[in-house]
């Protein structure tokens, strides 16, 4: 018997009431990296933020942001 996969997206957030989810995506990405910095890379508490930004953000953006974090040019507050 195969395991069923339940697909979910990030929950609604009152800070982002419009249909344009760009800021929501960026904020969740930052929240994830702040969480891993504070609680460690292996913290299960941070996994929800990872799920949220992965559901909201285009892969190209995440790749670019990861590259910018590695080179120290990321524009957001981490």
Name the CATH superfamily for 19-69: Cytochrome c oxidase, subunit VIb (1.10.10.140)
Domain boundaries, the chain: 19-69
How far lies 26's CA from each of 36, 50, 70, 71, in Å? 16, 12, 17, 18
Q: How confident is the model at residue 70 (pLDDT cuts 50, 70, 90)?
A: very high
pTM of the model: 0.75
Tell me: the pLDDT tens digits for 31-59? 999 999 999 888 888 999 999 999 999 99
């Amino acid at each position: 018997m195969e395991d069923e996969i339940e697909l979910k997206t990030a929950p609604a957030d009152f800070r982002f009431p419009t249909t344009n989810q760009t800021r929501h995506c960026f904020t969740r990405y930052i929240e994830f990296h702040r969480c891993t910095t504070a609680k460690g890379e292996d913290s299960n508490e941070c996994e929800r933020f990872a799920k949220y930004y992965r559901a909201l953000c285009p892969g190209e953006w995440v790749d670019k942001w990861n590259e910018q974090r590695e080179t120290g040019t990321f524009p957001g507050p981490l």
